[in-house]
Amino acid sequence: MNIEMIRAAALRLNGHARKTPLLTSPFLDKIAGRRVLLKPECLQHTGSFKFRGAWSAVSSLTNEQLDAGVIAFSSGNHAQGVALAAREHDTAAVIIMPRDAPALKINNTRALGAEVVLYDRASEDRDQIGSELAAQRGLTLIKPYDEPQVIAGQGTTGLEIAAQAAELGVTQGDVMVCCGGGGLTSGVALALEADAPGLRARPVEPENYDDVTRSLISGQIERNVITQNGLCDAIVTPQPGDLTFPILHRLCGPGVVVTEDEALKAMVLAWGRLKIVLEPGGAVGLAAALFHRDAIEGDAVIAVASGGNVDAPVFQMALTKFGDIL
Amino acid sequence: MNIEMIRAAALRLNGHARKTPLLTSPFLDKIAGRRVLLKPECLQHTGSFKFRGAWSAVSSLTNEQLDAGVIAFSSGNHAQGVALAAREHDTAAVIIMPRDAPALKINNTRALGAEVVLYDRASEDRDQIGSELAAQRGLTLIKPYDEPQVIAGQGTTGLEIAAQAAELGVTQGDVMVCCGGGGLTSGVALALEADAPGLRARPVEPENYDDVTRSLISGQIERNVITQNGLCDAIVTPQPGDLTFPILHRLCGPGVVVTEDEALKAMVLAWGRLKIVLEPGGAVGLAAALFHRDAIEGDAVIAVASGGNVDAPVFQMALTKFGDIL
């Protein structure tokens, strides 16, 4: 895993992934006590950065692999990213989803052309179903984060941040990244190391799911005890990846842990001040930038908003609970 | 009023206004029955295209005028655009607002550095207050639409659309523009005439406020009988402007009138499929593209989303009423 793979992924993504802008608001600057630059990956195709990694992985397959198709396990953003990337490569995508996943997510994934295979969480073994299907049809598994070409695709976010922040005169500071398995954070960290060495990636996690923050402190992979997924489901994973953790450990600053209420407040502020839609897990980076100012160094802070795939009731709850923050 | 003024405004806006992207979604294409490209001016500074015209007007003032300051009448998007443009030019802005304007809008305008002068709609004469202040302090009035440099600034939206649509292979089709006094629509129409002659501007209005649509049919300026502003308050004006109407008449296709419910549905789809926040008046262009397909010609349609400054209760109402459209 190296910067050349990220640059190669950027060439493959060119004209296919969206180059998201860097957004700013004087109102957010005031709350944060410094300049805030936000990278809104909610505006990426399929509503999250996951499309970058999916496109990178699918576009690096051989013709033989593309003829057979791809497979992924996901009930969320990775599923939609892989489905769209596969469709645009004219290859088949099989997505294994739990039967109790939200109907909208299942419908969206199907509408993007994927074959959705549902399984029962209680009685069926997801990995077994996937392995059998993959073997039977020669499908290539696209892992959500612990896969070099996926990390390379997510890292293109970091290349764009380096260039766009420099245009705005920002070359020093922390980059707050919503962190689950660490694919986005490690890719961004590698890109910043090469193109913006004054910018430092900081993993941000929701409370109770702070495996990366604890792993960075102990220097070894620590696990979450996950009892339920919480509001920030998009970035809840059991532990950092075997590929991502060494990169995070080498390059990232300390992790920051935010509360669910802070994530909801960041969603409301992004809605009101930047006119973008974030999901709770996609808002933790901005929440850290706004509400954990003492944990951050420098005159400017950059936050990556990783996605915006949120159900209407959760979004309405955030507006009801914290609409008066505006 | 000509294309050279728009090109000159684009140079002045460069590095100050945001070049908004063109967004797409396969889900919207399906509803519209053709490709849909959306220009999200809600992502512009201050949350609407009005910043472009305000910047254009303020940046064309003489040093003497800048020393004295500017004045505007507005309870909405124009107020915030003028306030921010003035602040970034280090010039004073006085904004005359009705005392019963939403507190959030008054606070935002003040927070952007403007001096807000409140008046009582029932007992005081807005124009008299403004004239007295302007005379007393030598302030320059920045009109919301019937002013060449304002039209020139709004027209930069059209220059960007012409270039961005061509990159996506779209050079023929209708461009649905949210239309109040016609500043944005006439500016976009002039820009398209020069840079994308296969694209045609179409004014879109909410029902009961279809002065432009009727004026285009009759060939002369027709008035609305405005009893209340309705949900689409941002684009409700009594009649097309003296400067804007001849441009609209010469260059635009027929107007399209949408219902408030169609605007709310477009807001929900923009929220769910593009992850952006629109106000009702800012959503009528997209509503026309999605729900009036028979009124539109071509394989692709472009919609301009003019702004996203909406109060939380209205936004929640839209999600409650039409959330199941996703």
Among candidates B21, B277, B313 on the partner chain, residue whose Cβ is nearest the Cβ of A277: B277
Give which of B242, B239, B322 is closest to B287, Cα–Cα.
Answer: B322
B26–A277 CB contact, under 8 Å: no
B308 and A CB contact within 8 Å: yes
- A81 CB neighbours in chain B (<8 A) are none
User: CB-hemisphere CA count at 13 Å for B60?
Assistant: 22
**Once rounded to an integer, what is the mean pLDDT over residues B158-185?**
97
Min distance A165 CA to chain B CA atoms (Å)? 13
pLDDT at A19 over 80: yes
pLDDT at position A33 is 98
A276–B274 CB contact, under 8 Å: no
Above pLDDT 70, what percent of chain B? 100
Residue-wise pLDDT for B248-279, tens only, equals 999 999 999 999 999 999 999 999 999 999 99
Strands B35-40 and A300-305: unpaired
Among candidates B18, B104, B112 on the partner chain, residue whose Cβ is nearest the Cβ of A26: B112
pLDDT at position A126 is 84
Give which of B278, B41, B286 is closest to B153, Cα–Cα.
Answer: B41
**Once rounded to an integer, what is the mean pLDDT over residues A54-60?**
98
Domain B3-49+147-325 has CATH 3.40.50.80: no
Looking at the domain A3-48+147-325, which fold is it? Answer: Rossmann fold (3.40.50)
- A234 CB neighbours in chain B (<8 A) are none
B169 and A CB contact within 8 Å: no
A272 and B CB contact within 8 Å: yes
A308 and B CB contact within 8 Å: yes
pLDDT at position B90 is 97
CB A252 within 8 A of CB A202: yes
pLDDT at position B143 is 93
- B84 CB neighbours in chain A (<8 A) are 26
Above pLDDT 90, what percent of chain A? 87
For residues A156 and A100, the model is more confident at A156
> Side chain identity at B294, as an amino acid letter?
D
B51 and A CB contact within 8 Å: no
A43–B323 CB contact, under 8 Å: no
Residue B105: which pLDDT band, with cuts at 50, 70 and 90? confident
pLDDT at position A130 is 87
Q: In chain A, how many H helices and how many E strands?
A: 14, 9
A275 and B CB contact within 8 Å: yes
Give which of A86, A105, A89 is closest to A97, Cα–Cα.
Answer: A105
Min distance A7 CA to chain B CA atoms (Å)? 23
Residue-wise pLDDT for B4-48, tens only, equals 999 999 999 999 999 999 999 999 999 999 999 999 999 999 999
Domain ranges of chain A: 3-48+147-325, 51-141
B81 and A CB contact within 8 Å: no
CA distances (Å), origin B24, targets A264, B20, B133:
27, 13, 46
DSSP letter string, B117-177 = EEE-TTT--HHHHHHHHHHHHTPEE--SSSSHHHHHHHHHHHHHHHHHHHHTT--SEEEEE
Tell me which chain A residue has its CA closest to the CA of residue B103.
A326
ipTM associated with this complex: 0.96
According to DSSP, residue A141 is labeled E
Interacting residues of B121 by C-beta distance below 8 A, sequence separation 6+: B98, B99, B100
Among candidates A43, A319, A326 on the partner chain, residue whose Cβ is nearest the Cβ of B23: A43
Which residue is it, tokens 């990636």?
A: A201
pLDDT at B148 over 90: yes
Phi, psi (deg, nearest 5) at residue A214: -70, -35
3-state secondary structure A9-41: HHHHHCCCCCCCCCECCHHHHHHHCCEEEEEEH
- Tell me which of A28-32, A230-234, A253-257, B101-105 is least confident: B101-105
Residue-wise pLDDT for A190-209, tens only, equals 999 999 999 999 999 999 99
Sheet containing strand A35-40, strands side by side:
A35-40, A300-305, A173-178, A199-206, A256-258
**Once rounded to an integer, what is the mean pLDDT over residues A269-295?**
98
In this chain, the answer to whether the domains covering B3-49+147-325 and B51-141 adopt an identical fold is yes
**A219 burial level (CB within 10 Å; 0-12, 13-18, 19+):** exposed
**Once rounded to an integer, what is the mean pLDDT over residues B217-230?**
88
* CA distance linking residue A221 with residue A325, whole number of Å: 37
pLDDT at B114 over 90: yes
Average pLDDT of every residue of chain A = 95
Token readout for A135 is 């073997």
pLDDT at A226 over 80: no
Residue B302: which pLDDT band, with cuts at 50, 70 and 90? very high
pLDDT at A71 over 90: yes
pLDDT at B229 over 80: no
**Once rounded to an integer, what is the mean pLDDT over residues A152-181?**
97
A275–B112 CB contact, under 8 Å: no
Task: Tell which of B38, B267, B275 to mutate to test the A interface (max A CBs under 10 Å).
Answer: B275
**Once rounded to an integer, what is the mean pLDDT over residues A52-78?**
95
Among candidates A26, A271, A312 on the partner chain, residue whose Cβ is nearest the Cβ of B323: A312
> Side chain identity at B110, as an amino acid letter?
R
Among candidates A268, A276, A320 on the partner chain, residue whose Cβ is nearest the Cβ of B276: A276
**Once rounded to an integer, what is the mean pLDDT over residues A142-149?**
96
> Side chain identity at B319, as an amino acid letter?
L
* CA distance linking residue B9 with residue B60, whole number of Å: 8
pLDDT at position B74 is 87
- B313 CB neighbours in chain A (<8 A) are 323
Residue-wise pLDDT for B192-217, tens only, equals 999 999 999 999 999 999 999 999 99
N- to C-terminal Cα separation, chain B:
43
* CA distance linking residue B279 with residue A275, whole number of Å: 10
Which residue is it, tokens 């694209």?
A: B199
CB B126 within 8 A of CB B105: no
Min distance A33 CA to chain B CA atoms (Å)? 15
pLDDT at position A230 is 85
Residue B125: which pLDDT band, with cuts at 50, 70 and 90? confident
Interface of B with A in 181-200 (CB under 8 A): none
Interacting residues of B318 by C-beta distance below 8 A, sequence separation 6+: B264, B265, B267, B268, B271, B280
CATH number belonging to the domain at A51-141, selected among 3.10.20.30, 3.40.190.170, 3.60.130.10, 3.40.50.1100: 3.40.50.1100
Residue A55: which pLDDT band, with cuts at 50, 70 and 90? very high
CA distances (Å), origin B167, targets A298, B161, B162, B170, B202:
38, 10, 9, 7, 21
Interacting residues of A266 by C-beta distance below 8 A, sequence separation 6+: A278, A283, A284, A286, A287, A290, A291
Min distance B312 CA to chain A CA atoms (Å)? 6
- A104 CB neighbours in chain B (<8 A) are 326
**Once rounded to an integer, what is the mean pLDDT over residues A266-282?**
98
* CA distance linking residue B101 with residue B35, whole number of Å: 39
pLDDT at position A127 is 84
Three-class DSSP category at A88: helix
Interacting residues of B269 by C-beta distance below 8 A, sequence separation 6+: B27, B28, B31, B286, B290, B325, B326
